[in-house]
Amino acid sequence: MALQLNKAIFNPTLYARVRTVWFQDLPATAQTAPMSHYQRWFGLGPASDRASFDSTCRSHFLEALDAISPSSLRLSPLPSPGGPVTRSTERSLDSALAQPFLETLSPAPTMPRNVFREPAEQALVYNHYDRIARSIVHALFPDPQVEADVKDRSAVAASAGAAVRESFRPDTHPELATSPAYRTWFYLPLMHSEHLGDHEHYMNLMRSCRDDVVAAGCGEEVLKAVDMSLEFEEKHLVIIKRFGRYPYRNEVLGRETTAEEKEYLDNGGDTFGAGKKE
């Protein structure tokens, strides 16, 4: 049976509310955002500011997230729980998941990390809400490397960036094409993924953003915003390349931490604001 969303909740009004809460006073024509916005989005500011923003997100979006919680929306089980799952396997299971969200103009769930901040709730984010968000991003921005379904990833890697640039995407609407502040919002679920290919796709999407910024002759500040996003993604990418997953998630996901992962975490390895520090 096809997924049916409650259109009293999931509708363009929800999208508008997400935009208002997430971007707040950022003008619709803005290409970059003040550092205070990035601090709020990624929990980099004072603990009191993060708590305040989390509270705002809960008050506005808990109802919507509850409406697509595991008790209301059962996702097809992935094989080998806790083990590696290929993107093609996940994509085949979730291919129809995004459609109702797209039909109701509802955005990818970007707020679960703010709404479900407690360590006991984080598995819900990683296993459920992240998967929904990825399905929407995959539907909006198909990755040529996955769609080609080839064994030799390098055979299409060189042309992936060109394919991304040539495809029709909502993020390349004239109002958004040269705005890394808005375009990165679409791509964040890929950064949260533990699939290496999703991170490579994020890099290709942001490189296409950089190409658009350069072609439009935008100023150095806009280029710096793109490069900052690429640098932040690189921090995630090196972890996935090294471990194949985010070690800081192991405890909440019931995964055994390897000796190498333990050493990494004990020596200050990145947790991106998650894990025990929360």
- Give residue-wise pLDDT tens across range 175-222: 899 999 999 999 999 999 999 999 999 999 999 999 999 999 999 999
Domains of the chain: 1-140 (no CATH), 142-245 (1.25.40)
Which whole number is the average pLDDT over 37-65? 91
Which whole number is the average pLDDT over 35-63? 90
How does residue 77 score in pLDDT terms, banded at 50, 70 and 90?
confident
How does residue 277 score in pLDDT terms, banded at 50, 70 and 90?
very low
169 has pLDDT over 90: no
Distance of CA 138 to CAs 28, 182, 215, 223, 244, Å?
25, 18, 26, 26, 20
Which whole number is the average pLDDT over 172-176? 89
Looking at the chain, the whole-number percentage of residues with pLDDT higher than 90 is: 56
How far apart are the C-alpha atoms of 188 and 137, rounded to whole Å?
A: 9
Q: Which two tokens stand for residue 139?
A: 């539907």
Question: Would you state the pLDDT for residue 274?
Answer: 76
How does residue 94 score in pLDDT terms, banded at 50, 70 and 90?
low
HEC string of the chain equals CCCCCCCCCCCHHHHHHHHHHHHCCCCCCCCCCCHHHHHHHCCCCCHHHHHHHHHHHHHHHHHHHHHCCCCCCCCCCCCCCCCCCCHHHHHHHHCCCCHHHHHCCCCCCCCHHHHCCCHHHHHHHHHHHHHHHHHHHHHHCCCHHHHCCCCCCHHHHHHHHHHHHHCCCHHHCCCCCCCHHHHHHHHHHHHHCCCHHHHHHHHHHHHHHHHHHHHCCCCHHHHHHHHHHHHHHHHHHHHHHHHCCCHHHHHHHCCCCCHHHHHHHHCCCCCCCCHHHC
Q: Which two tokens stand for residue 225?
A: 């915003």
Name the residue with tokens 């008790």. 71
How does residue 11 score in pLDDT terms, banded at 50, 70 and 90?
confident
How far apart are the C-alpha atoms of 205 and 143, rounded to whole Å?
A: 9
Q: Which two tokens stand for residue 142?
A: 């198909």
Name the residue with tokens 């533990």. 194
How far apart are the C-alpha atoms of 54 and 75, rounded to whole Å?
A: 26
Question: Would you state the pLDDT for residue 276?
Answer: 42
pTM for the full predicted model: 0.86
Cα–Cα nearest to 121, from 177, 58, 184, 172: 58
Which whole number is the average pLDDT over 109-138? 90
- Contact assessment for residue 211 and residue 255, using Cβ atoms and an 8 Å cutoff: no
Question: Would you state the pLDDT for residue 34?
Answer: 93
Using only the alpha carbons of the chain, give its radius of gyration. 18
Q: What are phi and psi of 100, to 5 degrees?
A: -60, -35
103 has pLDDT over 80: no
